[in-house]
Structure 1
Amino acid sequence: MLQSVNIFRERKTGNFVLNPNGTFRGYGAYVALFPYREVNDPSPERVGLLVVDMLEHSGPTGYRISQIQEYDDANLDDETRYVREKYFSSRKQDSTSALAKKFAHGKVEYRAGQKSWLIRSLKYSSELRSLEPFSERRVKHSTGVEQLGEAVTKMLEEV
């Protein structure tokens, strides 16, 4: 089972926005899930702890795709509403290219049984009009969440 977390780092402020990815039964793609969280004080330990917390919310939702409204109702909280309104409220400005200008984007992935997290930074390709892998790095669990947070922060500074 793949678990993953989207990580956005606002270029202007350095704030992080994270949300898990998961699946619905009867739907073959990974999609962004609730909750959304914001980190205003991006210390490596805080970022790493939040990534691990979001990984726990990722993966199969247990809901069918036809039950998406039930999932939303059960998992939409005040912080998620606040973060989505603050960062992603303007649909006209939320094209992939506009978001790529506003945020550095990355993902942290974990597969069951692995002893490391895979961190990927993504860069916008105007030719393909999508985010493409830019760099990746593995961080062993044994090094701790602070190392995970430090690696995430460094990779997103390079994009």
Structure 2
Amino acid sequence: MSAPAAGSQRPTRANCQVMVNLQCSVLILTTHLKRKCQCRPEDCIDLLDETGTLMNLSKVENPASEYSSKYLREREHYILIRVIRDKNSEATSYESLLEDLEKHYPDLTDRLQQLSAKTQRRDQWRKGTSQRKAQPHISTQLRNKTTSKKKRGSEFKTPK
């Protein structure tokens, strides 16, 4: 696994590789990676495989009891990333902790941006649907009847 670099608050071990045993819980694995790569304990981290697939370890419901081997494959390389969740929305952005990601994996820089943009678009869509739900609902038939009555009334005005 390749690990941290630019952007973190603490000094990190840039471009280090760590071999891990996948027969442990997700919680133990992520705690170990944070310590080895000198991330802060409160940082939310995840892994990205070499094809750009997010492993979603940060979304595992019960990381203390789920085995890492359920999510990761043996003898594979993964890139450590920081998951940054916006407190005011459900938008999430991803930041590589591998120094010079574009040099080692040129396609993954774009992939991280796509993943970040995807969650922001999803959040905007959800906000839009909740706003639409908050508006009073008028059926199409009722709206059409109201409109046609107005038209009839304005078309057939009678002089006084």
Q: What interval of TM-score do these two structures reach, taking the shorter chain for normalisation?
A: under 0.3
The TM-score with structure 2 as length reference comes to 0.28
| TM-score of the pair, normalised by structure 1 | 0.28
Structure number with bigger Rg: 2
Structure number with the bigger relative contact order (C-alpha 8 A, sep ≥ 6) is 1
| Higher relative strand content | 1
